[in-house]
Structure 1
């Protein structure tokens, strides 16, 4: 019975997300309903002591990353840099390689720190123009956008500043560059398999004489004239700066502050009545990404001040509002995971997972399942790590597996089954492109399957070669 309560709470939250209801509202409802059915008197204490504590703790750690990432993406958009990058990719890679162009541009933007939601909005007008001129069916476009923005640059490539690669750092005391060899191998697997599938679908559709399509909705206006676009070299510079700064700060912060902890004494700040201590291993990856994104924002604003300044006030408000909503959605799911982990029914789940003998497979299956149920990579991973991170760590240490490998497996698993039909990014992608699940989800689901297979491919590579 206790297991059924946990299962019902997860199913209810999945249903609410699928129907488009706010996770911020329904995650606590689902969690507290499970508590009510288990121990009615514990509802109020659990809400204050577990749900809110977990939720606030998540916001405390990660909201600056969400906010700075959203603002960076917005100034990249306002400056015209994203348009310039897309136009240059089309010019140098060629229109005949439409899928490769779209994947390359999306990957470049997301790896540079631009939110995947922003990437969809920024790249879609150019992707539509490219598909139209190449007479490729528009219904295949979401698969290419998903492969470029929602897959390897989100959680596989080492150093990516996306939140899915940052969350594991606080649990495993790793950095965003964890397991670089495995991350690169997994990324290559996803890119090769994904592009091969998309090209096969393109050739099949065009062989049947299917063109771009007619009576389509939400068709974008023609792209901005190339003469008005910034130099592509200038446009790509902020992305390079974010990547390099993230790498440098990851290594220098422990040198500046010490490898273990840094304490601000009351003597340094008279208004502080007790020492303020930061555990450096827990926050180094977060501080590094925040610093890198801040440098990127400053560089974009300074190099394109005329374009950005006129719309920065409204644009930054929109970016911060979107970041707040995204962070609160994930934080609410994190609080939900904390409550579910406290229920007796979850012990049944934990015992079942312990029967999976391999710690990496255990972690991959657990995170993939919860990401699929919640329809969120960061949300599913947050729930899994809030509930089972100690179990994962103990299993890895017992098997002498570096926590860097565990980090990479967990991050990649979060981006596996997350893109089921109720995923927010999938719904946004289809809305932006003016397509439906029936028309375009087949290609998105293929990318989902490829991403999931890549996790187990990476696990196999580690066991066969010992690469980290």
Structure 2
């Protein structure tokens, strides 16, 4: 009965999220349903398991959601995001429509703009150039997803997205962990994804399928003379990366703060000081980016500063509560007796080899279950990170590799149909799962498959 309750609760949560219902409401409902099947008390499970785990996730990662959302809105209100996307699309032209959209989304994501803002910023130009090149509109979501939801989200070293910052806490690493592994992953994902989308384009055009008619949410491109110069617009993005890099690599490593931050009132664990400092570096980097985004185009931003801050703050609350609720749900599930056999199976994959395969499978399974890359990864690392660190030490695996594998695996099967970013992107484009999700799922398979391919290659070549 316990295993049935887990499966039923997971299935219902996925179904309700797919149907557009809020996981903030239904995550605790179905967590308690699973607890009921296991014979656990409902109210104690809610108040002493679900809510504390929800609150702990929000406590640790809220600054990244808040600052990332405000930074994205500042880039949007200043016209910087639009300027960068427009410049790339116009420069590469309709012959390279797919590449131009991927690069537009990738540059914004790698610069720290939130995924949702990237989708809104890039979509009008993507739809416009696809229409001009007579490429089926149904390929637009997969193209944006390749640029925003894959290699720049968690593979490319230095990306300030939350999927790359979470492992720092567990492995005392920084955003640039395992650069060779991450760069190889980036090359494979980008090349394979572009090749697949170009093949889809050629196949559709050979069959006589064009952009299509009767679409909804068609963008109207209005010439905006108040956009900043694209080079100027890129400065806030570059500043996030540069400031974070300098702090993590050159300044914070020389700070000896353990003697006081490990004591009251801070009580940071000795093993987590470096990871915590690297989190501080990202917070400072995002603050620099926000300030510069407000400065670069004063004519356009005048009167919109409050709008950007308020909209970003409000949007961040919804995002962090969605993910925190999924984390609360997952933590209830992991306490149930029926989950012990699943956890045992996950941690004992390849028991005599390196921990990387077990870690990749565990993070992928939990990210797919919750429909959240950051939520699934947090649950997996809360459960298994200490075991993985011990396992890595005994098998000669670097903590940097644990960081990069966890990060990349989280962006694999998190993009199942109930994922919030998938639903939002399809809504922006005015398309349905039936029309566009198949191509998005292939991008998901490429992303997930690349992580496992690199684990296999690393076991032979031993690169970091």
Q: TM-score, normalised by structure 2?
A: 0.94
Query: Of residues 361, 368, 371 in structure 1, which corresponds to 2:367?
Result: 371
Moved more, 326-335 or 23-32: 23-32
User: Are the structure 2 counterparts of residues 250 and 30 from structure 1 closer, same or farther at C-alpha, using a change threshold of 3 Å?
Assistant: same
Contact 2:369/2:376 (8 A) holds in 1: yes
| Residue 259 of structure 1, CA deviation | 6.2
Aligned to 1:38: 38
C-alpha distance in structure 1 between counterparts of 2:255 and 2:153, whole Å: 29
Aligned to 1:276: 266
| Residue 445 of structure 1, CA deviation | 1.0
C-alpha distance in structure 1 between counterparts of 2:126 and 2:180, whole Å: 31
Q: Secondary structure at the match of 2:261?
A: strand
Query: Of residues 414, 423, 436 in structure 2, which corresponds to 1:418?
Result: 414
Contact 2:84/2:234 (8 A) holds in 1: yes
Contact 2:65/2:320 (8 A) holds in 1: yes
C-alpha distance in structure 1 between counterparts of 2:462 and 2:262, whole Å: 41
Aligned to 1:293: 286
1:5 aligns with 2:30: no
Q: Secondary structure at the match of 2:376?
A: helix
C-alpha distance in structure 2 between counterparts of 1:50 and 1:373, whole Å: 19
Query: Of residues 361, 382, 385 in structure 2, which corresponds to 1:389?
Result: 385
Aligned to 1:323: 316
C-alpha distance in structure 1 between counterparts of 2:254 and 2:262, whole Å: 14
**1:197-247 CA distances to partner (integer Å, 9 max, x unpaired)?**
00111111122232222111111112434x442111101111111111111
Query: Of residues 461, 464, 467 in structure 1, which corresponds to 2:463?
Result: 467
| Residue 264 of structure 1, CA deviation | 9.3
Aligned to 1:68: 67
C-alpha distance in structure 1 between counterparts of 2:348 and 2:422, whole Å: 33
C-alpha distance in structure 2 between counterparts of 1:378 and 1:277, whole Å: 25
Query: Of residues 338, 343, 348 in structure 1, which corresponds to 2:341?
Result: 348
Moved more, 145-154 or 52-61: 52-61
Contact 1:262/1:280 (8 A) holds in 2: no
C-alpha distance in structure 2 between counterparts of 1:261 and 1:85, whole Å: 45
C-alpha distance in structure 2 between counterparts of 1:28 and 1:223, whole Å: 44
Contact 2:172/2:273 (8 A) holds in 1: no
Between the two proteins, the alignment pairs up a number of residues equal to: 458
Q: TM-score, normalised by structure 1?
A: 0.93
Q: Secondary structure at the match of 2:317?
A: helix
1:305 aligns with 2:301: no
C-alpha distance in structure 1 between counterparts of 2:70 and 2:347, whole Å: 42
Aligned to 2:241: 243
C-alpha distance in structure 1 between counterparts of 2:189 and 2:286, whole Å: 26
Aligned to 1:198: 197
Contact 1:116/1:149 (8 A) holds in 2: yes
| Residue 35 of structure 1, CA deviation | 2.5
Q: Secondary structure at the match of 2:414?
A: coil
Contact 1:175/1:284 (8 A) holds in 2: no
Query: Of residues 224, 227, 238 in structure 2, which corresponds to 1:229?
Result: 227
- How large is the Cα RMSD of the aligned pairs? 1.9
Contact 1:28/1:332 (8 A) holds in 2: yes
**1:383-418 CA distances to partner (integer Å, 9 max, x unpaired)?**
222333333333323322111101111111111111
User: Any unmatched runs of 5+ in structure 2?
Assistant: none
1:84 aligns with 2:83: yes
1:121-140 to 2 correspondence within 5 Å? 121-140=120-139
Aligned to 2:161: 162
Aligned to 2:29: 29
| Residue 256 of structure 1, CA deviation | 5.8
| Residue 341 of structure 1, CA deviation | 2.0
Contact 2:226/2:300 (8 A) holds in 1: no
1:215-226 to 2 correspondence within 5 Å? 215-225=214-224
Contact 1:336/1:383 (8 A) holds in 2: no
User: Are the structure 2 counterparts of residues 23 and 261 from structure 1 closer, same or farther at C-alpha, using a change threshold of 3 Å?
Assistant: farther
C-alpha distance in structure 1 between counterparts of 2:107 and 2:207, whole Å: 33
C-alpha distance in structure 2 between counterparts of 1:390 and 1:8, whole Å: 30
C-alpha distance in structure 1 between counterparts of 2:21 and 2:205, whole Å: 39
User: Are the structure 2 counterparts of residues 66 and 84 from structure 1 closer, same or farther at C-alpha, using a change threshold of 3 Å?
Assistant: same
